[in-house]
Structure 1
Amino acid sequence: MLLRRIFPNMYKVPDSAPVESRKASLYLLRCVFLMGIRSPPKRFFFIYVLWSCALNLSSTFYQPIGFLAGYVSHLSQFTPSQFLTSLQVAFNAWSCSTKVIIVWILVKRFDRANEILDELDKVVTLPSERERVHRTAANSNWIFFCYMGVYVVYASSTALIAAIMGVPSFQNYYPVLDWHASRFQFWLQSGLEYFAMLGACFQDVCVDCYPVNYILPLRAHMAIFRERLLQLGTDPDEKPQQRYEKLIDCIKHHKILLSYCDNLRPLVGGTIFVQFLVVGLVLGFTIINIAVFANFGSRIAAMSFVCCIMLETTPFCTLCNYLADDCYRLADALFESNWIEQDERYKKIVLQFLQTLQKPIVFMAGNIFSISVATNLTATKFSFSVFTLVKQMNIAEKLAKSGSNIEY
């Protein structure tokens, strides 16, 4: 009950409640605001700017530099497991910073998407349709908090295991600080790294989960639209002109759905493309660490990291496949409607509309390749190529020998 009071939109509201598809991204957009990438509110202008600077300087901008500087300054002090743990997160941190910048530039498209959802909500009238939208909004918010939980568990488990082992999580470089010098500096660096990683996880949840939060209501409206197409021409009391006008309204409705997708394409294409570039490499380093170097505690942290990486692309790629199937169902629904008994003008419009519906909605990653389960599998399989290359070149054995020679 307490959770329901704090986060009421995680639960389905009664079917009689007004339809608000934008609530599917309610908590997402609140977190995007807390990322410090929206326009500062007038009432808390300086507080918001200070928070934005603190979070983005530590997580978006300095953390990728800190990883690189840490390798340059004390690479010889890493054990193989620590190095691979740091390296896998470093690549993901660089990709996360890039995705945050892309979302920062295009953040107003979230608002435009919600405005389009408001237009789509206007035609939702039946109780079953309202129930579908309400259920989708609640599920979308649940998914967002599931993402948040997985990412926070990874950051916290990594920090805890590193503290037990007596080393900072990733051994980033911080000017003036030397964690070997004293316990105070060790805990200060560990705290700074944990804050930066929590901030990065917070950002990563937003830039990885927003495609899911915005595609789920789209699929709900496409299912409702399919039912409208099936009902075309079935009312015996309608006049031919009324049926024609309903068909035209459906065409306009479909154009709104397409405009919603066009609005999201630059955002989705940029962030998913960046993630596809690094997912195989990051998973490859993680598999090597789990299979060769990691102890029990490090394996737990590495497995939670694998879950985070898979969440960055797999759910949305799966939804893209479902979205293509939804488009084919729309074409089938129009074909199954009562169009054969209509006049010639109606039939011509139906045939033209049918050709449009047969074109699936496809999101492209960087305008290079389509986002789908097949593409995700291809990118993921690269991790096994990385693992095979490392084994064939005996890099793991060389790292193990160099790690055994490190003196503490």
Structure 2
Amino acid sequence: MIFQYLRPPSFGNLMNSRDCFYYLDLSKKAFGILPPKPGSSRYWWLYYMWTGLIAVTAIIYAPAVFFITYHRALKTLTATDLFASLQAPIKSFSSSTKAIIVFINYNRFVKINELLDRMDRRIEKHEDRVLIHRTAVRSNYVDIFFHFLYFGYLFQCALNALLLGKTPYRLYNPIFGTETFTFSFYMATLVELFIVGIALSMNLITDVYPIVFGLIMRSHIELLRRRIQDLRSDVDKSEEKNYEELVDCIKDHKLIMNYCDIMRPVITKTLFMQMLMVGLLLGLSIVYVFFFADLWTAIATINLFIAYVFESFPFCYICNQLENDANTLSQAIFQSNWIDASPRYKSTLIYFMHHVQKPIEFNAGGIFSLNVNTNVRMAKLAFSVVTIVDQMNLADKMS
């Protein structure tokens, strides 16, 4: 069953860390980002053709169509049509750029799965495995939520086109016309929905993977904190055994930091593009809803507005929590039972505490930190755009 990765935990049937990416990996396979090795199956070449079609549509065809549309119709587009379609080319450019970054760094996703398997081998207690299982379920629910959010917008755009008799984005189409409720109109609508659907899917993949990455990282940090708390708690263990457990905790922390370092270059690049676009797109969405949209298009745009907010906020929130988790590790080390330990144990513990105090931080393109405060500033930028449009009376002038 496809929903077996949403099952509650049960003894002997628990998921692993790599299962957190299950539905996300299905999305990648569906849109050509996880191609099989040549010759691995009988019809592997069909998948490569599909990957090529997706790549050409997202990277070449979509930007070209948007450029031609605005070049041909900029003088004749009404303000409503302009704001209805202006978000699509911006989003398409952002989505395709982030998808290229993810595709180029495909090997990093393979490496983190191998690293997660190594981290899982350190889990011995049943309650710790339950924690990983719950993290996997939560991560898969996040992916499903984003699917409903993004494709709910696409469905509303399709419904709006059928009700109003206009193609969703008024894109230039040299093959099919846009005469209301004709065969050509329906085909033109399907072509536009296909283009935007690919852009949304690429965007969904690049929006979900940082959140899942952060959820897994927080869970393994929590497991490490539990192991640190248990250090030297068993009076029957020898000092040598206690020292080995401390060394294992240091190795676990190193694995977690390696996991972070492998994904940091991908996250910083995609989040940089995302944070650049989110303020602009939020502003355009609000202006369109306040000044130009009718009821049906406003509902669809509000759905998209929520999707824009959820693009950046969850991971920014997780970044804040990761900083707190690093402090929690340091406190757990200090509060562990070390007072009557051997000098070698104490010196190693000091070394461990020194490295744990290093903050776990992420930034966007090496320019600004990723946290909730940054996300709020981006949202304020969007409302600043609305204020400018309102005070300069640009809506009436454009109408």
User: Take 2:272 and 2:261, find their aligned partners in 1: how far apart are those partners?
Assistant: 17
Partner of 2:168: 169
Partner of 2:12: 16
CA 1:223 to 1:182, structure 2 compared with 1: closer, same or farther past 3 Å?
closer
Partner of 1:350: 349
Is the aligned partner of 1:374 residue 2:336? no
Q: CA deviation at 1:182?
A: 8.4
Question: Do the aligned partners of 1:61 and 1:97 also contact (CA within 8 Å) in 2?
Answer: no
Structure 2: 5+ residue stretches without partners? none
Pick from 33, 40, 43 the counterpart of residue 37 of structure 1: 33
User: Take 2:251 and 2:393, find their aligned partners in 1: how far apart are those partners?
Assistant: 61
1:240-287 Cα offsets, whole Å, 9 max, x none, are 222222111111110000000001101111111101001111111111
Partner of 2:392: 393
Partner of 1:405: none
Partner of 1:290: 289
Q: CA deviation at 1:179?
A: 2.1
TM-score by length of 2: 0.95
CA 1:217 to 1:395, structure 2 compared with 1: closer, same or farther past 3 Å?
same
Amino acid at match of 1:169: P
Amino acid at match of 1:114: N
Please give the secondary structure, in 2, of the residue aligned with 1:17: coil
Is the aligned partner of 1:249 residue 2:248? yes
Question: Do the aligned partners of 2:283 and 2:386 also contact (CA within 8 Å) in 1?
Answer: yes
Question: Do the aligned partners of 2:20 and 2:139 also contact (CA within 8 Å) in 1?
Answer: yes
Please give the secondary structure, in 2, of the residue aligned with 1:7: helix
Partner of 1:186: 185
Question: Do the aligned partners of 1:60 and 1:100 also contact (CA within 8 Å) in 2?
Answer: no
User: Take 2:80 and 2:6, find their aligned partners in 1: how far apart are those partners?
Assistant: 39
Q: CA deviation at 1:40?
A: 3.7
Q: CA deviation at 1:329?
A: 0.8
Amino acid at match of 2:258: S
Please give the secondary structure, in 2, of the residue aligned with 1:46: helix
Of residues 341-350 and 57-66 in structure 1, the stretch that sits farther from structure 2 once superposed is 57-66
User: Take 2:96 and 2:394, find their aligned partners in 1: how far apart are those partners?
Assistant: 29
User: Take 1:218 and 1:263, find their aligned partners in 2: how far apart are those partners?
Assistant: 12
Q: CA deviation at 1:12?
A: 2.8
Amino acid at match of 2:250: I
Within a 5 Å distance, the mapping from 1:304-323 to structure 2 comes to 304-323=303-322
Amino acid at match of 2:35: S
CA 1:358 to 1:264, structure 2 compared with 1: closer, same or farther past 3 Å?
same
Q: CA deviation at 1:19?
A: 5.0
User: Take 1:90 and 1:395, find their aligned partners in 2: how far apart are those partners?
Assistant: 22
Amino acid at match of 1:360: P
Please give the secondary structure, in 1, of the residue aligned with 2:248: helix
Q: CA deviation at 1:184?
A: 2.7
Please give the secondary structure, in 1, of the residue aligned with 2:74: helix
User: Take 2:59 and 2:218, find their aligned partners in 1: how far apart are those partners?
Assistant: 32
Partner of 2:2: 6
Partner of 2:336: 337
Amino acid at match of 1:79: T
Amino acid at match of 1:154: Y
User: Take 2:68 and 2:26, find their aligned partners in 1: how far apart are those partners?
Assistant: 33
User: Take 1:248 and 1:209, find their aligned partners in 2: how far apart are those partners?
Assistant: 34
Q: CA deviation at 1:113?
A: 0.8
Partner of 2:138: 139
Q: CA deviation at 1:71?
A: 1.0
1:24-61 Cα offsets, whole Å, 9 max, x none, are 00111121122213334432222112212222222343
Partner of 1:26: 22
Amino acid at match of 1:164: L
Partner of 2:273: 274
Partner of 1:65: 64
Question: Do the aligned partners of 2:153 and 2:303 also contact (CA within 8 Å) in 1?
Answer: yes
User: Take 2:139 and 2:14, find their aligned partners in 1: how far apart are those partners?
Assistant: 17
Question: Do the aligned partners of 1:168 and 1:186 also contact (CA within 8 Å) in 2?
Answer: yes
User: Take 2:326 and 2:60, find their aligned partners in 1: how far apart are those partners?
Assistant: 40
1:291-345 Cα offsets, whole Å, 9 max, x none, are 1111111110110110111121111111111111111111111111011111222
Within a 5 Å distance, the mapping from 1:120-159 to structure 2 comes to 120-159=119-158
Q: CA deviation at 1:141?
A: 0.6
Amino acid at match of 1:65: A
Q: CA deviation at 1:108?
A: 1.5
Question: Do the aligned partners of 1:60 and 1:200 also contact (CA within 8 Å) in 2?
Answer: no
Partner of 2:236: 237
Please give the secondary structure, in 2, of the residue aligned with 1:76: coil
Question: Do the aligned partners of 2:165 and 2:181 also contact (CA within 8 Å) in 1?
Answer: no
Question: Do the aligned partners of 2:166 and 2:180 also contact (CA within 8 Å) in 1?
Answer: no
1:119-157 Cα offsets, whole Å, 9 max, x none, are 110111111101111111111111101101110000110
Partner of 2:300: 301
Question: Do the aligned partners of 1:12 and 1:137 also contact (CA within 8 Å) in 2?
Answer: no
1:82-132 Cα offsets, whole Å, 9 max, x none, are 211211232112111110111010012111111111011011111110111
Cα RMSD for the two superposed structures: 1.7
Amino acid at match of 2:279: G
Partner of 1:325: 324
CA 1:309 to 1:288, structure 2 compared with 1: closer, same or farther past 3 Å?
same
Question: Do the aligned partners of 2:14 and 2:130 also contact (CA within 8 Å) in 1?
Answer: no
Q: CA deviation at 1:18?
A: 5.3
What is the identity percentage for the equivalent residue pairs of Structure 1 and Structure 2? 35
Q: CA deviation at 1:180?
A: 4.3
User: Take 2:300 and 2:180, find their aligned partners in 1: how far apart are those partners?
Assistant: 27
